[in-house]
C-alpha cells in the first residue's frame, strides 16, 4: 500500500481551470489559466486509455508559462461513460487502464488526469433518453484509489513530479448522496470539480435556469437543491474541506421554447439546446430582453416565445466572489472555447470570462481558516452595464406583478404605515415614560 501524498491546497493560489475542447482549435490564453484540461481521451475496447496522439498545449509550458499544468480528461459523453462502466467492472480491466494512463500522460507530457464521467449538455443532449452514469459509487472510488497509488509509486520510482488526479462530480444533492462516496474521493483526488450547472435541460418540460447561484424564492421541495449554494453547503457539511472543491462556471446558457400562453419561469416549454457565450452576446445586441433574477442571482433573456437562462459577467462575478468567500480552491470554466476568443462578439476583450476570473482572484490566496464567520454579502451585485428591458408578456396575468416586475411571482403587499397612528403611538410612549420618571422622583 502506497501512502497518500495528496495534500490540501489551502494557502495556495486560486485555481483557474480552463476546459479546452481539442477539436475546436481554439487555444485558451495560458497567462490567465493555472490549469488547462484537454478533452477528451477515450477508453479502448482493450481497456487502455488512448485517443491522443500529441499534446498541442505543451508549447505553452515550454515557451510561455512553465508553471501551467495541462491535464487530460477522460469521459464526457454517453459512449465514453458506458466504456468506463465496463472498464471498472473487473479488477483486471481497471488495472490495465490505470497502467495505460501513466504511459499516455508521460509520453505526451501531460501533468495529470481528470475523471469526468458527468455528461454535460454543453456538447449536445444525451444520445438516449436515459443518459449513461456511473451508478456504482464503489467503482469510481476504487478507480480513484488505484490511480492515486499508481501515480505515487511512479513518482517515487522515477523522481518526477507526481501526476495530478481530479474527479468531476455532480452538483445535485440527490445524485451526490446516491452515486458518489465523497469521503473516499476526497482522499484520493487532488480536488473535486463540482458541476454546478446543467441543473435543468433536455429532460425538463418547463423553462428554468440551469445554473442558479442561490435557491429560487418560490422553489418547491424537490427543486431547492438545484443551485450552486446548496451543492457547496451539502458537500462541506459532509466533512470535505472547502479547499478540495472547485465550482463550475458555464460558458453557455440553455434555451427553452414556451409552449403555452404562460410566460414565467416554470411555464411549459421544450428544450431547444445550449447557447455559447459568444451567441448570447450577439443576442443582447439584436433585441433580446434581459431580466436579472434577484433571488437566483443570475439573468435570463427573452425574445418572443424563447427563454434562455445563462450567466453574464455580472452573475459570474457573484459566483467568483462566492467561491472566495466559501474558501473554495478555485473555478473551472466549461468549456473555454465558448468564451469570446476573438473579443469581437461581446466587445469585452479577448476571453472575457477567463479574464474576469483572473482579475478578481489575482494575488488571492486560498484561505486555510475554516468558515466560521458569516460570509460576505453576495446579494449586492456589481454595477450592471447591460440595460435591463422589461419583457412584454403576451397575456396579462392578474396573479403576477404588473409590467416591470420580470418573472417574480406576486406577493401580497405589506400593510402601509399610517402616519397619524404612528405619531399618536410615539406621543403616548413619551407620556408614559414621563409619568414613570415622576413617580420615581416622588
For residue 22, the model assigns a pLDDT of 82
Q: In the chain, which stretches have pLDDT less than 70?
A: 1-9, 126-133, 372-442
Name the CA radius of gyration of the chain, rounded: 25
**37 in a domain, yes or no?**
yes
Tell me if 2 is assigned to some domain: no
Does the residue 54 lie in any domain?
Answer: yes
**Could you report the per-residue pLDDT of 379-400, keeping only the tens digit for each?**
444 444 433 333 443 443 333 3
Does 335 reside within a domain? yes
Task: Report the pLDDT value the prediction gives residue 130, as an integer from 0 to 100.
Answer: 64
How many domains does the structure of the chain reveal? 1
Q: What is the pLDDT of residue 441?
A: 52
Do the Cβ atoms of 84 and 49 come closer than 8 Å?
A: no
Predicted TM-score (pTM) of the model is 0.83
| Residues spanned by the domain of 123 | 15-251+311-361
pLDDT at 3: 41
pLDDT digits (tens, 9 = 90+) for 250-265: 999 999 999 999 888 9
Candidates 311, 312, 313, 309; CA nearest to 300 is: 309
> Could you tell me if residue 437 is inside a domain?
no
Give the rounded distance of the alpha carbon of 385 from its chain centre: 23
**Spatial separation of the C-alpha atoms in residues 328 and 315, rounded to whole Å:** 18
Q: What is the pLDDT of residue 56?
A: 82
Q: Say if 214 falls within a structural domain.
A: yes
Domain assignment present for 333 = yes
CATH number of the structural domain spanning residue 351: 3.20.20.80
DSSP codes of every residue in 347-399: SS-SSHHHHHHHHHHTT-B---S---SPPP-TTSPPPP-S-------SS--TT
pLDDT of 427 reads 42
> Do the domain assignments include residue 409?
no
Q: How far apart are CA 311 and CA 18, in angstroms?
A: 17
Q: Specify the pLDDT at position 61.
A: 82
Amino acid at each position: 500500500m502506497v501512502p497518500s501524498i495528496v495534500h490540501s491546497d489551502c494557502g495556495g493560489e486560486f485555481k483557474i481551470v480552463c476546459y479546452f475542447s481539442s477539436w475546436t482549435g481554439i487555444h485558451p490564453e495560458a497567462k490567465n489559466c493555472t490549469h488547462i484540461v484537454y478533452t477528451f481521451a477515450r477508453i479502448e475496447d482493450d481497456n487502455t486509455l488512448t485517443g491522443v496522439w500529441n499534446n498541442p498545449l505543451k508549447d505553452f509550458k515550454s515557451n510561455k508559462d512553465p508553471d501551467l499544468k495541462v491535464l487530460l480528461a477522460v469521459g464526457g459523453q454517453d459512449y465514453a461513460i458506458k466504456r468506463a462502466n465496463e472498464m471498472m467492472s473487473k479488477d483486471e480491466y481497471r488495472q490495465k487502464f490505470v497502467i495505460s494512463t501513466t504511459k499516455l500522460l508521460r509520453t505526451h507530457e501531460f501533468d495529470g488526469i481528470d475523471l469526468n464521467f458527468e455528461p454535460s449538455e454543453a456538447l449536445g443532449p444525451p444520445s438516449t433518453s436515459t443518459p449513461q452514469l456511473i451508478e456504482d459509487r464503489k467503482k469510481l472510488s476504487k478507480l480513484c484509489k488505484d490511480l492515486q497509488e499508481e501515480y505515487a509509486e511512479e513518482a517515487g520510482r522515477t523522481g518526477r513530479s507526481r501526476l495530478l488526479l481530479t474527479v468531476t462530480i455532480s452538483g445535485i444533492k440527490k445524485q451526490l448522496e446516491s452515486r458518489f462516496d465523497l469521503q473516499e474521493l476526497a482522499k484520493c483526488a487532488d480536488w473535486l470539480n463540482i458541476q454546478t450547472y446543467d441543473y435543468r435541460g433536455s429532460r425538463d418540460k418547463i423553462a428554468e435556469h440551469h445554473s442558479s447561484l442561490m435557491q429560487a424564492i418560490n422553489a418547491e421541495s424537490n427543486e431547492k437543491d438545484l443551485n450552486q449554494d446548496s451543492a457547496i453547503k451539502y458537500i462541506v457539511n459532509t466533512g470535505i474541506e472547502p479547499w478540495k472543491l472547485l465550482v463550475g462556471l458555464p460558458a453557455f446558457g440553455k434555451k427553452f421554447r414556451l409552449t403555452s400562453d404562460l410566460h414565467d419561469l416554470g411555464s411549459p416549454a421544450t428544450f431547444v439546446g445550449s447557447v455559447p457565450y459568444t451567441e448570447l452576446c450577439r443576442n443582447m445586441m439584436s433585441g433580446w430582453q434581459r431580466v436579472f433574477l434577484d433571488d437566483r442571482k443570475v439573468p435570463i433573456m427573452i425574445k418572443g416565445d424563447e427563454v434562455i437562462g445563462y450567466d453574464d459577467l455580472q452573475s459570474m462575478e457573484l459566483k467568483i466572489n462566492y467561491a472566495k468567500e466559501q474558501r473554495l480552491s478555485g473555478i473551472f470554466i466549461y468549456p473555454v472555447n465558448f468564451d469570446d476568443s476573438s473579443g469581437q462578439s461581446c466587445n469585452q476583450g479577448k476571453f472575457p470570462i477567463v479574464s474576469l476570473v483572473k482579475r478578481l482572484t489575482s494575488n488571492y490566496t486560498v484561505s486555510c481558516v475554516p468558515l466560521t464567520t458569516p460570509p460576505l454579502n453576495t446579494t449586492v451585485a456589481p454595477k450592471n452595464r447591460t440595460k435591463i428591458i422589461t419583457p412584454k408578456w403576451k397575456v396579462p396575468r392578474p396573479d403576477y406583478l404588473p409590467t416591470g416586475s420580470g418573472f417574480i411571482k406576486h406577493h401580497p403587499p405589506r400593510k402601509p404605515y399610517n402616519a397619524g397612528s404612528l405619531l399618536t403611538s410615539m406621543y403616548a410612549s413619551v407620556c408614559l415614560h414621563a409619568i414613570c420618571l415622576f413617580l420615581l422622583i416622588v
